[in-house]
Amino acid sequence: MVDKENTVTSEDNTKENVLKFFKDYEIREENVQQYIDSIIKDFYKPSPSIYASNNDSVKEIQSKFGDSSIPEGIICDKNNINKYFSEIKENVIDKATRVSSPNMVGHMTTALPFFHRPLSKLVTSMNQNVVKVETSATTTFLERETLSKLHRAFFNQSPEFYEKYLSITEGTFGCITSGGTIANLTAMWVARNKAFPKTDSFDGIEKEGVISALRYYGYNDMAIVGSELMHYSFKKAADVLGMGLKNIYTIPVDSEYGIRIDLLIEKLEELKRKKIKVIAIVGIACTTEVGSIDNLEVLADLAKKYEALFHVDGAWGGSFIMSEKYRYLLKGIELADTVTIDGHKLLYTPMGCGIVLFKSPLLPTTTIRKVASYVIRAGSMDHGKTTLEGSRPANVLYLHASLNLLGHRGLSSLLDIAVENTNYMAELVKSYPQFEIISKPITNIFLYRYIPSWLRKDNEQFEVRYPVSPNSKTIEIEEVSTLYSNSTQDQTFDISDLTDKEENSFVEEEPSQYTNEENQVIDYFTTELQAKQKREGKGFVSKTTVKTTKYPNYEKGIDVLRVVIANPLVTHENIKAVVEEQIRLSQELEKEYKMKTQSI
């Protein structure tokens, strides 16, 4: 038989023990915080390597995380708490990637302003849920205000416009999301529903579904169109929205890695003839691989012509709207219907802060608005009515802090530092015969690759220049009205208004230097160099594969080293050290390669 008395006692003890975690009983939170602070202090000390675990194999690291069982006991005492955090320190913190290292010049994660660390404790302690006002009495309105600041930076409407939409229940300037992927997905969700709206005899695609919508409006399918450098999140969006990946149409890029407008027009006309509805044309403000920026003004005109939503993916480069020196690069972004921007990239917030902005605050309320009687009610200020995600933390506090503490001038200065450092590194790389620059920096990203000694050829690489304003051009490029002459025979698009806007679409590319066989060897060395530096070195650049007009017959694309500099703590000395380390490691690679080939 069950001993009821002992069972009750055990249950009481369990309740008492578990409540200790909530009442700060015996073990004071300050003691835990002191230990966490010491861990953080150690983490920020200079490390021999960005990857402190680079001497461990993947299997060795994985072996630390193989326990799939949940412990049964509840032990709220000092020894148990210390044991837990000690294990976390040893297995997780000590071997974590040092993303704030000034030798990390290859990814989009950077050092953060100091105030975000204590602010994260505040966000956790408040534990607000910004899905509705009842669980975020003040942060709902803080989020609304913060979104209005960003909206004003991009679209610059009248003061009366912002006063109106800050106070009414219908309309929103944008949505805070967990990242750029959800922001882009939200924009495509809006685009799809906007393309197939409700009428007197049709309830709209959100209620009737894709098949009924296509049938009602007389289309065979729907499409998203953008350059071949579009972010992978658009594939996810097409999948989730029931469109299918085959209905993402990617257009080749020119020598500057911007979308080919002539080929875009051809594709838009082809889709029109096939009765495929283009729901969105996507412009990119800094591709994640190359850093290139599409001609946003021309894309806006084309979106208007073909009645498609114009979305700008500015997850990386959108923040340059804050730069007095480089904001001109985003000319035309104010014409977008929707804009994605990531706070956790160049607005210097912690991870998990994406934003999608709507030029018209009523756009999401007329396309994707959803309500529920218990949580997001019609007529309320609840932000959950127009967000894809339901429960959300008040991460807007990070964004609000960056905008208010760093301010416009501070953010502008940080962006200027990033571009200047990137140009310095590009000039340095160009000075070494061991490297070939594949894409020059437009903002703070560029690509290059390693050329083994026996393949190097005399070649004067392009001069790396700081981006200049449109009023101080140094190179004259001929008019490109002939650009569109090869469009489809029944092309009706009038290009007369676009020639000025598209004058930089094509830049003559230098002839190919290397054969496909030579490119395979260069790919090998570039890939091995990046892996060797990550494994053995103190610096880091990332690697990607891109197609380039320089080697059009090398269909798979060339392997390249990718530089991304956002960290304001990066110095010229750090940059020199990273490049010189690559020179040293590449010499070792060549010796190893020659030994292998000789033995074969």
pLDDT tens track for 153-201: 999 999 999 999 999 988 999 999 999 999 999 999 999 999 999 999 9
Token pair for residue 296? 């946003």
Task: Identify any residues that bridge with 253 across adjacent strands, giving them in sequence order.
Answer: 259
437-479 pLDDT per residue, tens:
999 999 999 999 999 999 998 655 544 444 444 443 332 323 3
55: pLDDT strictly greater than 70: no
**Rounded mean pLDDT of the chain?**
87
Dihedral pair phi/psi, residue 153, rounded to 5°: -60, -35
Q: Rounded distance, CA 219 to CA 274, Å?
A: 8
Contact (CB, 8 A) for 354 and 176: yes
Dihedral pair phi/psi, residue 115, rounded to 5°: -70, -15
Place of tokens 């310095």: 424
Q: Rounded distance, CA 219 to CA 273, Å?
A: 10
3-state secondary structure of 583: helix
Q: Which CATH number among 3.40.50.2300, 3.40.640.10, 3.30.1120.130, 2.70.98.20 corresponds to the domain 174-356+476-507? A: 3.40.640.10
Gyration radius of the chain over CA positions? 27
358-380 pLDDT per residue, tens:
999 999 999 998 866 555 566 77
Position 508 scores a pLDDT of 43
Position 174 scores a pLDDT of 97
Report, as an integer, the average pLDDT of 96-111: 93
Domain ranges of the chain: 4-98, 104-128+407-462+510-600, 174-356+476-507
CB under 8 Å, gap of 24 or more: what pairs does 360-367 form? 361/165, 361/171, 361/172, 361/173, 362/170, 362/171, 363/190, 363/194, 363/337, 363/338, 364/172, 364/175, 364/190, 365/170, 365/171, 365/172, 366/194, 366/197, 367/189, 367/190, 367/193, 367/194, 367/197, 367/206
Q: What residue type is 292 in one-letter code?
A: S
Q: Rounded distance, CA 552 to CA 543, Å?
A: 20
24: pLDDT strictly greater than 70: no
pTM, whole model, 2 decimals?
A: 0.89
How much of the chain is in helix, strand and coil states, percent to nearest 5? 45, 10, 40
Level-2 CATH architecture, domain 104-128+407-462+510-600: Alpha-Beta Complex (3.90)
